[in-house]
Amino acid sequence: MLKNFLPNEHVKRVLDITPSKLKEMGIKGIITDLDNTLVAWDVKDATPEIISWFQEMKEHDIKVTIISNNDRERVSVFSEPLEAPYVYSARKPLIHAFKRTAKQMNLSKQEIVVIGDQLMTDVLGGNMAGFHTILVVPIVETDGKITRFNRMMERRILNWMRKKGMITWED
């Protein structure tokens, strides 16, 4: 049970995930969360760093799809300028959106990584759908939507990972 909440990897920022690293792993596609993973939840548009990250992935033939539990307005306004396919109201951690997205990307689950800042949605859903999962540190602490229960669970799991030496940076 606990295993499903554990990411395969953890990095500080999404920008630390590079095409060369993904290619070494045989990865051809990314399914990424939006809020607090790519930008802070209250930032409307991609930053220059995120724009070039998407550009770099495209140049290396790595497909990127954004899947978010947020609404159509938020997700489309952010994703369309990046020319990135997107799924809104994804209902993560349910696995339907993940599975459907992989099919649309025409890739197997071994060829996709799932990236996100939340254990209870991104990592849990990605793991249950059978993908390699990468946890990032949330860009800002609060997003107004995460329940206190989710927060408490996350803190416990992250503390456990820290104790095991799985997390090496300082907050």
Nearest to 90 by CA among 78, 99, 79, 81: 99
Least spacing, CB of residue 135 vs Mg ion, in Å = 11
Nearer to Mg ion, 33 or 111 (CB): 33
DSSP classification of residue 6: S
Site string for Mg ion, 96-125 (x = CB under 5 A): ---------------------x--------
What CA–CA distance (Å, rounded) separates 15 from 41? 17
**Three-state secondary-structure class, residue 122:** helix
Contact 131, 31 (CB under 8 A): yes
Least spacing, CB of residue 117 vs Mg ion, in Å: 4
Binding-site size for Mg ion (CB under 5 A) equals 5
Q: What's the closest the beta carbon of residue 87 comes to Mg ion, in angstroms?
A: 14
Q: Give least dist CB 29 to Mg ion, A.
A: 19
Nearer to Mg ion by Cβ, of 35 and 111: the residue is 35
Selected from 6, 14, 17, 33, the binder of Mg ion by CB under 5 A is 33
154 binds Mg ion (CB under 5 A): no
100 with 125: CB under 8 angstroms?
Answer: no
Closest CA to 88 of 104, 107, 103, 66: 66
**Cis, bond preceding 93 (omega within 30 deg of 0):** yes
Assess 133 for contact with Mg ion (CB under 5 A).
Answer: no
Q: Which of 32, 36, 79, 101 is the binder for Mg ion (CB under 5 A)? A: 36
Q: Which of 28/34 has CB closer to Mg ion? A: 34
- Residue 40: phi and psi, rounded to 5, are -60, 150
Min dist CB 23 to Mg ion, Å, is 26
CB-CB contact of 32 with 116 (8 Å) = yes
Q: Does 35 bind Mg ion (CB under 5 A)?
A: yes
User: Interface residues with Mg ion (CB under 5 A)?
Assistant: 33, 35-37, 117
